[in-house]
Every structure is written in C-alpha cells, then in structure tokens.
Amino acid sequence: MAASSCIREAFGRLPDGRAVERLRLRGGDGFEVGVITWGAAVQALHAPDRDGRLADIVLGHDGLDPYVARRSFFGATVGRYANRIAGAAFTLDGVAHALAANNGPNALHGGREGFDRRLWTVEAAGGDPVPSVALSLVSPDGEEGYPGTLHARVTYALTGPTELSITFEAVTDRPTLANLTHHGFFNLAGAEQGSDILGHVLTLHADDYLPVDAGAIPLGRPAPVAGTPFDFRTAQPIGARIREAHAQLERGRGYDHNYCLAGGCAARPRLAARVEHAASGRVMELFTDQPGLQFYSGNFLDGGTPGKLGRLYRQSDGFCLEPQCWPDAPNRPDFPGARLDPGQTYRHVSIYRFSAA
C-alpha cells in the first residue's frame, strides 16, 4: 500500500498571469483526487475497479485553458447560490435584491461569474492526519447582486481508503444567502472509455421530487416519485425510463430535478444515493447533510469542448448528484431556507465513498 500524501504542482496560468495549482490527494492503493485552485474543482478522481485497475471517473480537462475558456462546471465548487433563483431576484428583510440573470430570466449557480469562475487560495494542505486541502475565497458585498461579504471555505479530505469528504463553510457580515455544492460529473466506467452512463444503476433515497416549469423553476410543492420515471427508491438503470413520454423528462431533456431528502437538513450526513457500474464493479455512495439532491443526467453535454484525452463529451456521458438547498428557496418560504446571518456559520458536509463489487 502506497503512503498517503498531498502533492502540490503547477496547473497553468490565467490570462492575467496568476498561477493555478493542482493538489493531488493520494490515498492507499492508488486512490487519488486532484483538486485545482481554479473554481476549487475536482479535476481528477482515480478509483479502482473490482480487479484493482484504476480509472479517472470524473469528466474534466487535462489542462487549464479549457476550464477558463468555457463554463462547464466540471467538478467545480458552485456558489454563492447553487441551482436557480426565479426571476434573478429575491427579497430579504423587506429589501429587494436583483441578481445577474444568466439562465434566461433566472439566476443559475451564482450568476455570470460564480465561485466556479474564481481563483481560490490554498489555506492549508498536507497529508497528516489525512491527505487534505482547504481552499478559501472572499466574495465581496454586492457581487452578482448578493448582499454581504461572504468568506467561503471548502475542504477536501480523504477520510477513508477510498472516500472523499467535502466540507463547505461560510460566514457573512450581513444577512445573505449561502448554498454551495460540488458539481462533479461522474462516469464510473472511466472518463477515457467514451461510454454513456445510462446503464449505471441508481438508487436514490427520496420519496418526493420537485417538478419544474420550462425554466427549471419549481412549480409548487414536492410531488411523489411513486408511479413515475423519477422513482429510484429501488435500484434502476438511469436510462431505463429516461425516454418515456413524461412532461418533466421532456422539459429537462432527461433528469435535471431536485430530490427532497427525508428529514431536510440533517445533523450528520446520511446515505442519499448509490450508483453501481456492473462491468467495472465500481460503486459510489453519497452521504450528505443537505435537504436536497439535484440529479442531472448530463442532458446538455453537447460535444462543444474536448475533454480529457481529446474526447468530446456528449449527452449522458456523465451524471451529477449535487447536494444542496432546494432551488428557488429564497422565494419560497415553504422550502428549507438558505439564509445566513452574521454570527452563524454555514456548513455543508458530503461524503463520496467508493468501492468495488
């Protein structure tokens, strides 16, 4: 078994000359996670199959330039508010706040230049007691229309032999919103294989989901998954019902919906989803303390930018499971809230545990 470590290396320079680093968190038997400071993104994740063969199981790029040239969210940290806010506006304590509209009339993933488009600072990195890196970012008052200066921090740590823990934290000097998430695109077959994820078998522990309008804004209260193609309470291939004539599948060109996890915001991470890939035996289990999980089946991957090894990522070449608050919660008092006040600490912990069967 190889020794655990954290290796720092250059990953390129931004157009303005600032250096971007990659930090490689190395666990036992080859398990490794590469994190870049641009967007605090997971650039690579190598996990073994049932025979111990390693593969990089996340979509992304081999170098920096494509990350900068096109906003694809591959592996990125998303904020200040992940997912959508209707009409790119919300009211807090009687004060209306206009946000940058970057998804039709709505705000998506923090606006035009969200946290995924920022260079984060390495606060700490090392291999003791476990390989980890902590990255920080200051979002000034008024950035993208959000009130308050937000000090954000994300820590990636290998907390098990093949386990990645991601902890988001934030504090503010004014009442504001905080809803950060990890936007990894996974393909358990290996990103270099060029195969889609429709045969991956998904179990998702949620009785309800949020139907959406044409702009992907929730229509109303949660709806039961029972009797619909959105029911993954028992294991189902992702592609088994993705082409059924269901209005919600038509609207999203597949799955791009928030699942309402039982218990809302939890005191500690609980099992939310499990994904299996039969050919390799790789299994990913996701534990989170968040109230929602956005399941996205890669519907809008369009082959527009070459990915790793020069491969073009096309529809359903990767899936996302994004733990977060519910979309448009700032405009929906009946949804779990995303408010953060001075003196409070926003905290979100999600754990990605890999194994092979």
Cβ pair 239, 249 in contact under 8 A: no
User: Average of pLDDT values for 320-330?
Assistant: 98
Take residue 145 and report the two structure tokens written for it.
């229309």
Write down the pTM of the prediction.
0.97
Total number of residues shown for the chain: 357
pLDDT of residue 326: 98
Q: By the 8 A CB rule, do 141 and 35 touch?
A: no
Nearest to 353 by CA among 321, 317, 307, 316: 321
Mean pLDDT over residues 112-132, rounded? 97
Domains and CATH numbers, the chain: 5-197+296-351 (2.70.98.10)
pLDDT (0 to 100) of residue 194: 83
* pLDDT tens string 197-254: 999 999 999 999 999 999 999 999 999 999 999 999 999 999 999 999 999 999 999 9
Residue 3 has pLDDT above 80, yes or no: no
Between 192 and 67, name the one with better pLDDT. Answer: 67
pLDDT score, position 2 = 54
Q: Is 315 exposed, middle or buried (0-12, 13-18, 19+ CB in 10 A)?
A: middle
Q: Would you state the pLDDT for residue 306?
A: 87
| pLDDT > 70 fraction of the chain, expressed in percent and rounded | 99
DSSP assignment of 173-221: SSSEE-B-EEE--B-TT-GGG---STTSEEEE--SEE--B-TTS-B-SS
- Residues marked as catalytic: 183, 322
Average pLDDT, the chain: 96
- Tell me the mean pLDDT in the region 128-149: 97
Calculate mean pLDDT across residues 19-23. 98
Query: Can you tell me the mean pLDDT for 116-139?
Result: 97
What does the pLDDT average to over 116-122? 98
User: Does residue 5 surpass a pLDDT of 70?
Assistant: yes
Give the residue with greater pLDDT, 68 vs 28.
Answer: 68
Task: List pLDDT tens digits, range 261-286.
Answer: 988 899 999 999 999 999 999 999 99
* Partners of 283 in the β-ladder: 276, 355
Q: How far apart are CA 252 and CA 123, in angstroms?
A: 38
Whole-angstrom Cα distance, residue 287 to residue 269?
Answer: 5
- Considering only CA atoms, which of 108, 18, 138, 150 is closest in space to residue 294? 108
Residue 225 has a pLDDT of 98
Distances (CA, A) of 88 to 126, 143, 145, 340: 40, 13, 9, 19
Sheet holding 41-48, edge to edge: 5-13, 19-26, 32-36, 41-48, 54-56
The rounded percent of the chain whose pLDDT value lies above 90 is: 95
DSSP letters, 70-123, are: S---TTEEE-SB-SEEGGGEEEETTEEEEPP--BTTBEETTSTT-GGGSBPEEE
Kindly indicate the confidence band of residue 1, based on its pLDDT and cuts at 50, 70 and 90: very low
Evaluate whether 46 touches 183 at the Cβ level (below 8 Å).
Answer: no
| Residue-wise pLDDT tens digits, 141-196 | 999 999 999 999 999 999 999 999 999 999 999 999 999 999 999 999 998 888 99
Residue-wise burial string across 318-329, b where 16 or more C-beta atoms lie within 10 A, e elsewhere: bbbbbbbbbbbb
Question: How far is the C-alpha of 28 from the C-alpha of 1, rounded, in Å?
Answer: 6
